[in-house]
Amino acid sequence: MTATLRNLMLALVATLALLACKKEEAAPPPPVVLTVPSDPADLAGWKLYLTGVVKANMEGIRQRPYMYFVPAVVDEETERQYKDQLETIQDTLGRGILPGNLIAFGSPDSNKLAELVVEAFKSSAAGSLKGVRVLVVGASADQERVKAAVVPSEAEFVFVEAR
């Protein structure tokens, strides 16, 4: 009887010790409030904003996302960057993207972004992006024409209004 009582007491003390050592679960961090930079020329601010939007839409994505930022076209250099970006996206879509990936697009110039996405998806074969998420961050006025360009690829289309 004494041995049983002693074993029972040891088990109780061990259980209490384990419970006391258990670390408190950390409270989840507060949600990050994403705000669109007011200045279209604030490239760092825009990239930070768009990165936050992409992170918020990564659920179920298994790979590092393809992210495309289109600067507001204001001079020859940004026009050249736009054309290079379009060519890069067309090449990527032409090669194909494996399911479980995310392609994200954003820009301070939503109209130019929509133009880029529509043009780029012309090189995408019907049904070629099944299982891929396409995220577009822009103005709601451009949502339907961008969606119409993406839908034939059978990608999951996600639109986030830049606010």
Dihedral of the CA atoms 145, 148, 153, 94 (nearest 10)? -30
DSSP H or E run through 137: strand 133-138
**49-82 pLDDT, tens digit each:** 999 999 999 999 989 999 999 888 788 988 999 9
Cβ(65)–Cβ(104) below 8 Å: yes
Cα radius of gyration rounded to whole Å, the chain = 25
Residue 132: what residue type? V
Residues 12-23 have a mean pLDDT of 53
Segment holding 50, helix H or strand E: helix 43-56
The answer to whether the Cα torsion of 62, 55, 145, 91 is positive or negative is: negative
pTM, 2 dp: 0.78
The DSSP bridge partners found for residue 161 are 138
129 — pLDDT class (breaks 50, 70, 90):
very high
Position 41 scores a pLDDT of 86
Write phi, then psi, for 160 (nearest 5 degrees): -120, 125
Candidate ranges 11-15, 67-71, 139-143; pick with highest mean pLDDT: 139-143
Tokens (6 digits) for 149: 């360009």
Domains, the chain, with CATH or none? 34-161 (3.40.50)
d(CA 20, CA 89): 55
